[in-house]
Structure 1
Amino acid sequence: MTHDRPLIAAIIGTGAIAHAHAQAIVDLAPRVRLAAVVDLDADRAQAFAQQFGADAVYSTAEALFAAERLDLVHVCTPPQTHVPLAIQALRAGVPALVEKPTALSLAEMDELVAVSRETGVPALTVFQHRYGAAAQRLIRLVREGVLGRPLVATCETLWHRTPEYFDLPWRGRWEVEGGGPTMGHGIHQFDLLLAVLGPWSRLTAFAARQVLPTDTEDVSMALVEFDSGALATVVNSIVSPRESSRLRFDFEHATVEVEHVYGYTDADWTFTPAPGHDELAARWTAQPSDEPSGHRGQIAAILDALAAGEEPGVGVDDARRTLELAAATYASAFRGAPVRAGEIAGDDPFLRSMDGGAVPWHPVKTRPEEALA
């Protein structure tokens, strides 16, 4: 695949998040063209297609894949449809870019991993915070080893949602959304945490439903140990009136931190070298950028990879590692015990669902040991 022609894309689902995908496609023209959109709501789909210049509208994914020759399909539907639609795309030979969360369970994620490997077609997850200029710079410096060993990190997603936010029938329900802020909100921040620090080894967590009218948690907290020996705290909340997304990394030779809400630029980052390592500040500021983090950065990187015949990010293995951290957070919180990476396997109920049948505030199963009996 080369740059001789625009890559052809389609979007399935034309709700709120689809606008970010479509705008990125428009911004990246002529490298990519939005050929078609799919939505069960014909009027909404037509209006969306007209707004973003799509040529065709379909009511089903089956009709889309039968009629169009695509290089990439964006899956922007509610979470419970992500894996079925992505598998349909892969079997049609079309790489799929799936909004988070990729899957509702590790078992479902493993099904997607298997189909991607069977077909040789990539299934990708939207984790756009990896692709801001500062995050890419940080990842490069970590890989070069110039910051020294990672020691301590803090990852906070402190957001606020009102009860009305959950009026949509697919929000706040384990079987439809997969979880609360651990799955739907904080996952972007702790995915970037994992992208910087690498594999995690074990964690201990808590989760609670503090005030919101949901089946899922509205707060979770975890203490995470990484293979490198680094320790991190991860907080996910949607009951915090002053909204903030914050990551802080303390390495041997520097502290690197960012605070933003839904997206960052270089201006949101702070780099503090340790005494005796002032030369690192010049490495940090060597290639400044005012480009905000967002869908466009990740989609541009995907287009580069597809055009070069390379594997795009974020692929199924990376996405599974991030999803496993979410599953382990729930398993540890609801069982009251630490969880090691790779431990959720076999017939573990947390492999099949994020709640594991063990939610303490569930009206029927009130204790983890009852759910596991």
Structure 2
Amino acid sequence: MIRVAVVGTGGISPMHIEGLLNFQNRCRIVALCDIYPEKAEGMKEKYKLDCEIFNDHQKMLSSGVKIDLVHICTPPYVHSEIAIYSMNAGCHVVVEKPMATCLAECDAMLEAEKKNGVVMACIAQNRFRNSIYKLKKIAESGIAGKIRCAHINSHWWRGHSYYDLWWRGTWEKEGGGPTLNHAVHHIDMLNWLEGELPKAVTALLTNTGHDNSEVEDLSLAILTYTDGSAASITSSVIHHGEEQGIELQCDNAKISAPWKIQAEISKENGFPVTGGNQALLNEIQYLYDSLPDLPYEGHTGEIDDILRALEEGTRPLITGIDGRKTVELITAVYKAGSRREWTVLPLQKDDPFYTFEGIQKEAIRFYEKKVSVENFKPDSITVP
């Protein structure tokens, strides 16, 4: 039985708690921790948990309560601190997105994992969506050909009041806008699908509708790869309709999530034949339909994978290395957008954007955050 603590009981924590409760024969929640302990008490009551409540992760880990695994669901600026402390205490950790606010923090977390012989997993639950899992399988099969151009649309919408929450909308606490906190999942998926980081990135950062926030509410990035292929990423909290998607333009066909396929075939003059390559379309669709659904999706699917890794002594699908790659690409977008230049990857340790302090110094501040509320009333959220 794996004994679990959840640190941070805000909007994302129900996804973790509900996921864990799907596997009560394999794990048990023994502690909840929040700097607002009344929020943790509310979660304990809501889910009828038999667990201890703490207002500080250090107190929790020194309390004598036996804990094997710590789920970190706090704002990003304390992810590394809590993860490293937990791993130094001998616990495995699951870190919500993003892994950390900078590469220096990511590297310190990876070092703590190695030093303590524990496992660190990073949340990127969309890899456990049937649409994304099957897209990956189709891409890997080679049936559509090599990826030549990828379009990533991380389109979300958040009202003006979203950035009133005390830690949101500041570089110091949130670490960035939708590029870091919403598109993080789509950027992880892009890295997963491509199998590598791009060689260079350029980007535009702007804030078009949230004058209570220092950070961007929209970024547009262009990526180039060593083989000459390219990708675009739109990261937004200004898009009505909240329509996210991944489109892979491959040599032989377009494949995308939500699932859609198109495949052109050429006339003698180079123009497309009406109806496209129907034989290939049928072949791709047959392969897609033959793929079994995942037993669990989203956070529940990833938690199942993490528990299995701990039970079997293997590695989870999404490791700290994966989390770091995502943070590196996001950091490259911020550097390119802040300096209005092409940024070459990999980023080096002497790069100003490698550290939290360097990002704070260089980042564009679009507006001064003047309004701050301590907490919103409990309500549902939409999850990237």
TM-based fold match above 0.5 = yes
- In 2, are the aligned partners of 1:197 and 1:226 still within 8 Å (CA)? no
- In 1, are the aligned partners of 2:30 and 2:51 still within 8 Å (CA)? yes
Task: Give, as a single letter, the amino acid of the residue that structure 2 aligns with 1:294.
Answer: G
The one of 349, 352, 371 aligned to 2:352: 349
Matched residue of 1:234: which SS? strand
Shift of 1:363: 8.2
Residues 126-151 of structure 1, C-alpha deviations (whole Å, 9 max, x = no match):
11001112322332343343332111
Q: Aligned equivalents of 1:292 and 1:180: distance in 2? A: 30
Aligned-residue CA RMSD (Å): 2.1
Q: Aligned equivalents of 2:249 and 2:240: distance in 1? A: 27
Shift of 1:281: 1.6
In the alignment, which residue of structure 2 is the partner of 1:3? none
Q: Are positions 1:317 and 2:307 aligned together? A: no
> How many matched pairs?
349
- In 1, are the aligned partners of 2:172 and 2:360 still within 8 Å (CA)? no
- In 2, are the aligned partners of 1:157 and 1:245 still within 8 Å (CA)? yes
Q: Are positions 1:105 and 2:102 aligned together? A: yes
Residues 248-282 of structure 1, C-alpha deviations (whole Å, 9 max, x = no match):
11222332212xxxxxxxxx422445624232221
In the alignment, which residue of structure 1 is the partner of 2:18? 23
In the alignment, which residue of structure 2 is the partner of 1:285? 289
Q: Are positions 1:65 and 2:69 aligned together? A: no
Bigger relative contact order, structure 1 or 2, given CA contacts below 8 A and separation 6+? Answer: 2
Q: Aligned equivalents of 1:248 and 1:62: distance in 2? A: 44
Q: Are positions 1:303 and 2:302 aligned together? A: no
The one of 30, 36, 55 aligned to 1:35: 30
Matched residue of 1:357: which SS? helix
In the alignment, which residue of structure 2 is the partner of 1:129? 126
Residues 333-360 of structure 1, C-alpha deviations (whole Å, 9 max, x = no match):
1112111111x32332211137452345
Report the structure, 1 or 2, having the larger strand content: 1
Q: Aligned equivalents of 1:303 and 1:34: distance in 2? A: 13
Structure 2 residues not aligned, in runs of 5+? 265-276, 369-384
Greater alpha carbon shift after TM alignment, 348-357 vs 315-324:
348-357
Change (3 A) 1:157 1:291: farther
Q: Aligned equivalents of 1:83 and 1:359: distance in 2? A: 20
Shift of 1:118: 1.8
Structure 1 residues not aligned, in runs of 5+? 1-5, 259-267, 365-373
Change (3 A) 1:306 1:162: same
Q: Aligned equivalents of 2:364 and 2:20: distance in 1? A: 44
Q: Aligned equivalents of 1:10 and 1:145: distance in 2? A: 42
Task: Give, as a single letter, the amino acid of the residue that structure 2 aligns with 1:204.
Answer: T
- In 2, are the aligned partners of 1:95 and 1:122 still within 8 Å (CA)? yes
Q: Aligned equivalents of 2:343 and 2:140: distance in 1? A: 27
Change (3 A) 1:205 1:294: same
Map 1:130-149; keep pairs closer than 5 Å.
130-149=127-146
- In 2, are the aligned partners of 1:273 and 1:280 still within 8 Å (CA)? no
- In 2, are the aligned partners of 1:82 and 1:102 still within 8 Å (CA)? yes
The one of 259, 263, 266 aligned to 1:269: 259
Normalised to the residue count of structure 1, the TM-score between the two structures is 0.87
In the alignment, which residue of structure 2 is the partner of 1:256? 255
